[in-house]
Amino acid sequence: MSTTHVFHRSLRATPAVAVRGQGAWLYDSAGRAYLDGSGGAAVSCLGHNHPDVQAAMHAQIDQLAYAHTSFFTTEVAERLADNLVQHAPAGTSHAYFVSGGSEAVEAALKMARQYFVEIGQPQRRHIIARRQSYHGNTLGALAVGGNEWRREQFKPLLIDVTHVSPCYEYRDRRDDETPEAYGERLARELDDTITRLGADSVMAFVAEPVVGATAGALTPVPGYFRRIREVCDRYGVLLIADEVMCGMGRTGTLYAVEQEQVVPDLITIAKGLGGGYQPIGAVMAQEKIVAAMSAGTGFFQHGHTYLGHATACAAALAVQNVIQRDGLLQRVRDQGAGLRERLQATLGEHPHVGDIRGRGLFMGVELVADRATKQTFDPQLSLHARIKREAMSRGLMVYPMGGTIDGQRGDHVLLAPPFIISDDELDQLTERLAGAIDAAIAQTRS
Ligand SMILES: Cc1ncc(COP(=O)(O)O)c(C=O)c1O
């Protein structure tokens, strides 16, 4: 298909044409079937073509597809916000609807800034985030993210953000350190960084509770986020949890932070919110943030044309209703345990699998050249890209990435299958993944 006019992600290769989806499967125009082992990029939580979501979208379109939010609200946006707030961490009072994850992060950053202006602390401007994180590709979100290769060429355009260490137990916890002590050390690093920048000039700390694409389902050590919350509270810094990828049930609880027993000030969500049926994201805001704006300026100085898009809200409401009705959070925990067992059984002793990690149906497999030394494969080999190709040729979608450690070195595969995945499909996922990994590694030797 050399005549494409679509500005594709790759300008050298046009991807296969997707024509149909059903459950955990996608089909291309040549009739090939692909098991969606990564939900695209951790998006398709209900799989494809879910009848209840389709029906809700059809009903909404027949009634009203869209109305601009500077003129109207819609019933469906109101009901979605009610539903989300009802199930959100304590103190959450409002949902601000946008069209995706990057927009959610941008909105959260501006909310944090406006909050401090409203409460008479306009000197607060510094943002601290973590290396080996991803918060989106718009300039503000890209600046906050700690994904070096994504940032590199755009650095001259990025606002100044300070980055601290990720919570990366497999590589960074010292042998003489307990997981808790490691978490303490990282919290101290944040504390020191805030003090160095000037405690009353720091606005927010931004982190993914479970790191997604950049480092492959990195889970925090026990107590890490509680220590982080304490540090933020000590200095009046807002905690922004980016749950665009790990949220909305992916880790077995609706919000990943629930398992950390902390309440962030702002939470960004997107992917699993609409499950890919429509582009939608949101910022879940604590009451104190909204109250400050309400008592002050009276509005949040932000906005996009498609805020609160009615059809997108209808899709998201239907997705959330299905998750609740069908008990899918429990299913994520059950199938997640099944996926972990299968990965351990198939890859646990693999000479080139260094770590299998994650939570719920959000799992990462880190590849190493040598298990004992944790030495990575030569980045020139692009092992991650080979694994993706080999997986696709076996009818499996997974989400591999390179630069796991520092943007250059390291390879991992991220798995995020639909919550509805069956045992048989989990078997196929694991077998095909193991085959793809072996074939990709074999290529690097030929
Ligand atoms: C944690 C996180 N934040 C933000 C984003 C950006 O979301 P979007 O691609 O919808 O703009 C992503 C996308 O992968 C993400 O994983």
3-state secondary structure the chain: CCCCCCCCCCCCCCCCCEEEEEECEEEECCCCEEEECCHHHHCCCCCECCHHHHHHHHHHHHHCCCCCCCCCCCHHHHHHHHHHHHHCCCCEEEEEEECCHHHHHHHHHHHHHHHHHHCCCCCCCEEEEECCCCCCCCHHHHHHCCCHHHHHHHHHHCCCCEEECCCCHHHHCCCCCCHHHHHHHHHHHHHHHHHHHCHHHEEEEEECCCECCCCCCECCCCCHHHHHHHHHHHHCCEEEEECCCCCCCCCCCCCHHHHHCCCCCEEEECHHHHCCCCCCEEEEEEHHHHHHHHHCCCCCCCCCCCCCCHHHHHHHHHHHHHHHHCCHHHHHHHHHHHHHHHHHHHHCCCCCEEEEEEECCEEEEEECCECCCCECCCHHHCHHHHHHHHHHHCCEECEEEECCCCCCCCEEEEECCCCCCCHHHHHHHHHHHHHHHHHHHHHHHC
Q: Distance between CA 81 and CA 284 in Å, rounded?
A: 9
Q: Distance between CA 225 and CA 182 in Å, rounded?
A: 12
Query: Cα 298 from chain centroid?
Result: 31
Q: Which residue has its alpha carbon closest to ligand 1 atom 7?
A: 101
Architecture of the domain spanning 51-326: 3-Layer(aba) Sandwich (3.40)
24 alpha carbon – ligand 1 mean position (Å): 22
Asked if the domains 18-50+327-443 and 51-326 are classified in one and the same CATH topology, the answer is no
CB of 404 within 8 A of CB of 215?
A: yes
- Residue position matching structure tokens 């010292």: 174
Q: Which ligand 1 atom is the nearest neighbour of the CA of 102?
A: 11
281 alpha carbon – ligand 1 mean position (Å): 10
Mutate-to-test residue for ligand 1 from 210, 218, 245, highest number of ligand atoms within 8 A of CB: 245
Q: Distance between CA 436 and CA 427 in Å, rounded?
A: 14
443 alpha carbon – ligand 1 mean position (Å): 31
CB of 304 within 8 A of CB of 278?
A: no
CB of 262 within 8 A of CB of 226?
A: yes
174 alpha carbon – ligand 1 mean position (Å): 30
137 alpha carbon – ligand 1 mean position (Å): 8
212 lines ligand 1 (CB under 6 A): yes
Q: Which residue has its alpha carbon closest to ligand 1 atom 13?
A: 136
Q: Residue 254, CB half-sphere, CA atoms under 13 Å: how many? A: 17
pLDDT (tens place) for every residue of the chain, 446 residues total: 458 999 999 999 999 999 999 999 999 999 999 999 999 999 999 999 999 999 999 999 999 999 999 999 999 999 999 999 999 999 999 999 999 999 999 999 999 999 999 999 999 999 999 999 999 999 999 999 998 889 999 999 999 999 999 999 999 999 999 999 999 999 999 999 999 999 999 999 999 999 999 999 999 999 999 999 999 999 999 999 999 999 999 999 999 999 999 999 999 999 999 999 999 999 999 999 999 999 999 999 999 999 999 999 999 999 999 999 999 999 999 999 999 999 999 999 999 999 999 999 999 999 999 999 999 999 999 999 999 999 999 999 999 999 999 999 999 999 999 999 999 999 999 999 999 999 999 999 87
105 lines ligand 1 (CB under 6 A): yes
CB of 271 within 8 A of CB of 242?
A: no
What is the assigned CATH class of domain 18-50+327-443? alpha beta
Q: Which ligand 1 atom is the nearest neighbour of the CA of 41?
A: 14
Query: What are the distances in angstroms from CA 172 to CA 4, 9, 115, 402?
Result: 45, 33, 35, 18
Q: Which ligand 1 atom is the nearest neighbour of the CA of 212?
A: 16
102 alpha carbon – ligand 1 mean position (Å): 6
213 lines ligand 1 (CB under 6 A): yes
Chain segment 243-256, per-residue pLDDT in tens: 999 999 999 999 99
136 lines ligand 1 (CB under 6 A): yes
220 lines ligand 1 (CB under 6 A): no
217 lines ligand 1 (CB under 6 A): no
170 lines ligand 1 (CB under 6 A): no
Beta carbons within 8 Å of 78's beta carbon, 6+ residues apart: none
Q: Which ligand 1 atom is the nearest neighbour of the CA of 101?
A: 7
Ordered by start, the domain boundaries in the chain are: 18-50+327-443, 51-326
Global pTM exceeds 0.95: yes
358 alpha carbon – ligand 1 mean position (Å): 18
Orientation of helix 423-445 relative to helix 328-347, angle to 10°? 40
274 lines ligand 1 (CB under 6 A): no
Query: What are the distances in angstroms from CA 60 to CA 102, 181, 279?
Result: 26, 52, 15
Chain segment 45-59, per-residue pLDDT in tens: 999 999 999 999 999
